[in-house]
Structure 1
Amino acid sequence: MTQDNGKVDMSAVSTRRKQMVNGLRQVHISNYEKSHAEIIMGFGRFVGEKTVQVTLKAGGTRALKANRIFLDTGSRATIDLVPGLIESRPLTHVEVLELNVVPEHLLILGGGPVGLEFAQAMRRFGARVTIIERSQALAHWEDPDVSDGIAQLFHDEGIEILSSSTITCVEGISGQSVTLHVQRGDGETSVQGSHLLIATGRTPNTENMGLEVVGIKTTPSGHVQVNERLETSVPGVWAMGDCAGSPHFTHISFDDFRIVRDNLAGGQRSTTGRQTPSCIFIDPELARVGLNESEAKRKGISYRLIKIPMLAVLRTRTLGETRGFLKALISDDDRILGFIGFGVGSGDLLPVVQLAMSAGLPYTAIGSLIIAHPTFSEGLQSLFSTGPLKK
């Protein structure tokens, strides 16, 4: 998607995105039509027991009554109460996808998944990119070798990183010119850019829904309070996904639905102890399931470590992308406690490891498999054929 002069054609990028989104939306709409479910577009609010009033997008209102009500209202980007921030009209993950131009200099608040993915994408489109992160490291919840690896990756691609930085004031308008006043250590500096992207967290969409009218409790963070079966404090009302405080992943929201569905059919499923796989789609990918070293140490869990460089995964050599590593935490009885993949194709390695973890299989069960050569999965054989080291 480049023009003759070699620059990225963002209008073509935007068009392709819209085509993809519209295609997926049509799939979902078709599924609804086949199920004969009714879709009502509008804003719903509890006005009484088992009663929701919808302010319709097309105008007017409509009252709905039901014995079972399910809340899945999602979340939105958090915009902190920093002087001038709201007034600067910053981009969120929604608006940045609608850009028709490559930002001259994109400033990104936050070094989490959203910030990391857009930082690399926009840098590769040709923008100058600066990440401002309040913690000491990008992806600070991960182990130091992961955070350091991402920092080196971004450094090599020319992405600027301001860590341990707090925004004190914002001036200007995103899309024109914006200046951030930044507190770093004992001093203050400023950084100027053309666009500003907010990626500092998520806020649940639970305001003004009349939850208090029917006694639905919320947590201090504003999420709907639920038990392990995703039941709210009011019988006949369930909540799932981001608004219920579940890990903010599409696949977790889908599992929330399965928990509610199966329990309504007489099952006994819950959120307790379930796996939470994740993948950050930078290049190369960062994938994880289970414990990392930092968590194991904090919880006092004994483990042994297996780690190999991605260079040992022969498929990476055929692609010319050998950066990163694979590692796993092994229990004293040889079960897999956690897996981290920082390298090309890492996300696709998760299901095999998850299955072994769910079944309580020893790590050697994967190491003894015959795996097609040369595939990314062959890296699991290399990893789990390695003797673990005591930590």
Structure 2
Amino acid sequence: MTMIEADANQPPEEYDLVVLGSGEGSKFLAWTFARQGKRVAVIEQRWIGGSCPNIACLPSNNFIHSAKVASYFARVEEFSISTPGYTVNMSKVTDRKRTMVKGLVDIHVHNFETSGVNFILGHGHFVGPRTIEVNLQTGGTRRLRGTNVVIRTGTYATRNAIPGFKAAKPMTHIEAQGRDEIPSHLLILGGGSIGLEFAQAMRRLGSKVSILDRNATLLHREDSEVTSGLETLFHDEGIELILDATIQNVMGTSGQSVAVTYLHQSKEETVQASHLLVALGRTPKTQGLGLELAGVAVTESGYIKVDEHLKTSAKGVWANGEVAGSPQFTHIAFDDFRILRDSLSGGNRVTTGRLVPSSMFTDPELAHVGLTEGEAKAKGISYRLFKIPMASVLRTRTLSETRGFMKALVGADDRILGFTVFGVDGGEIMSAIQIAMIGNLPYTPIRDAVLAHPTLMEGLIVLLSAAPVSVEAA
């Protein structure tokens, strides 16, 4: 990992590939081409390796798992264990996460060093076609030009223009998982996946938690039994839900005292808390990049316009990950890497037709792949619905984790159209169905398989052996 300062008045340093941002879709691309002997530079403003190992999926799941362990302590009597009580040391929870992150960053530094990538810490912005100037963290500037340039700057937490919102200094998920003390009362703005994961984790670690969302249900785009199951789960865990609420203003300062006034059914109400966390969606990091100087077009929402090969409107400039409007998952960003790798090597891999899985790491998990019932009905697709409660999977009874359900949508040709699981280790179960869908298998080989007992995967046999309900296209 080489860091060299150069005079910005000199001609640009020439590279085969310049990468702006070291996230999932870019770091693998840089390592791959650098190991092939290409001259590669990576520019990173802050997070070595991107958000996933530093502030997003991996550290948040580390944080969530600590909360899961705490929940077991709260249930000790259920498992016939006597204990005089327990306390949560939040600084130790955070230290565990920090230790993991440091190990992950060390791995990334090693990969950049051994691959031969020129890694540059600083803020990069275009100053012309395929030319980027970097304001170095150590001071000074460097100017680089690539035969090809890849943009992977990601997104950041959306901050709405609500009166008093900015002055309240709300936390994002970054600050929430870096605290050394437990908020006495955490108010979360937003009922999407990030807000829900942190709501449950903070509640289990000892916070009073409230969620305020403008929609009438949590995860409002999901099927009704999903939203109902989540709302019941949160109610059972003592999390306050304020739904169908429109924020009017925010008063106070997060970390001290905040009050949010909102409209609910034309009535003005106020909720007070000690801390405020914003989870109102994501905004692409495209401002201040000088994209217009590079000839890179963006959408009305600010995302970089790309084609199915992730090529932008500018010759030799590509984009990947969230900033290019790809689904906001690390596993999709990794597939973006494969598309770029092949595109830059003369291949023809594309983004179209991808089977995109999702997994929300509440407890129990919510995982999904393919069509939901709502989507199937909207598209006029007939299907057979197979559905069972998780309690029908005998392994859940041994774990005392019987909450939730599984359901599969099967088409007239016996192929699986979609699968949803709200249950323990739902993401692992969903992946088995996804592999069957990728292989274009009918549901019957899974139904007739011999799987180990007692396991959660065995529940797929139970599911696909259930009596289906036929739903005709409208």
TM over 0.5: yes
Q: Is the 8 A contact 1:330 1:388 kept in 2?
A: no
Q: Distance in 1 between matches of 2:106 and 2:468?
A: 48
Distance 2:269 2:116 in 1: 58
Q: Which residue of 1 aligns with 2:342?
A: 262
Offset of residue 387 of structure 1: 3.6
Match of 2:295 among 198, 215, 223: 215
1:42 aligns with 2:122: yes
2:234 is the alignment partner of 1:154:
yes
Task: Answer yes or no: is 1:345 the counterpart of 2:431.
Answer: no
| Aligned match for 2:448, one of 346, 368, 377 | 368
> Superposed, which structure 2 residues align to 1:245-256 within 5 Å?
245-256=325-336
Contact 1:371 1:377 in 2 (8 A): yes
**What does 1:3-82 align with in structure 2 at a 5 Å threshold?**
6-82=86-162
Quote the Cα distance in structure 1 between the aligned partners of 2:342 and 2:208. 48
The counterpart of 2:184, out of the listed 94, 97, 104, is 104
Partners of 1:380 and 1:266 in 2: how far apart? Answer: 41
User: What letter corresponds to residue 9 of structure 1 in structure 2?
Assistant: N
Q: Which residue of 2 aligns with 1:320?
A: 400
Matched, 1:117 2:117: no
> Does residue 92 in structure 1 map to residue 154 in structure 2?
no
Q: Report the AA paired with residue 296 of structure 2.
A: I
State the AA in 2 paired with 1:44.
Answer: G
Q: CA deviation at 1:28?
A: 1.5
2:244 is equivalent to residue 175 of structure 1? no
Counterpart of 2:223 in structure 1 is: 143
Measure the CA separation in 2 of the matches of 1:25 and 1:385.
Answer: 46
Equivalent position amino acid for 2:130 in 1: K
Q: Distance in 2 between matches of 1:311 and 1:5?
A: 30
The TM-score normalised by the length of structure 2 is 0.81
Secondary structure in 2 matching 1:67: strand
Q: CA deviation at 1:350?
A: 2.1
Structure 1: distance between partners of 2:228 and 2:438: 30
**1:194 lines up with 2:274 in the alignment:** yes
RMSD after superposition: 1.4
Q: Which range moves more in the overlay, 165-174 or 292-301?
A: 292-301
Output one character per residue of 1:259-304: Cα deviation in whole Å (capped at 9) or x when no partner.
1112222322111110110100000000000111111111212111
1:326 Cα deviation after fit: 0.4
Structure 1 gap segments, 5+ residues each: none
Unaligned runs of 5+ in 2: 1-65, 71-83
Q: CA deviation at 1:179?
A: 0.2
Residue correspondences, number:
391
| Cα distance between partner residues in 2 of 1:19 and 1:343 | 29
2:102 and 2:461 map into 1 onto residues whose CA distance is: 40
**Paired amino acid for 1:241:** G
Residue matched to 2:458: 378
1:381 deviation in Å? 1.5
Is 2:369 the partner of 1:289?
yes
Q: With structure 1 as the length reference, what TM-score do the two structures score?
A: 0.98
The Cα of 1:5 is off from its aligned counterpart by 7.1
Q: Distance in 1 between matches of 2:88 and 2:293?
A: 51
Bigger shift: 177-186 or 255-264? 255-264
Deviations 1:143-182 (A, max 9, x none): 0000000000000000000010111100000000000001
User: Partners of 1:346 and 1:264 in 2: how far apart?
Assistant: 36
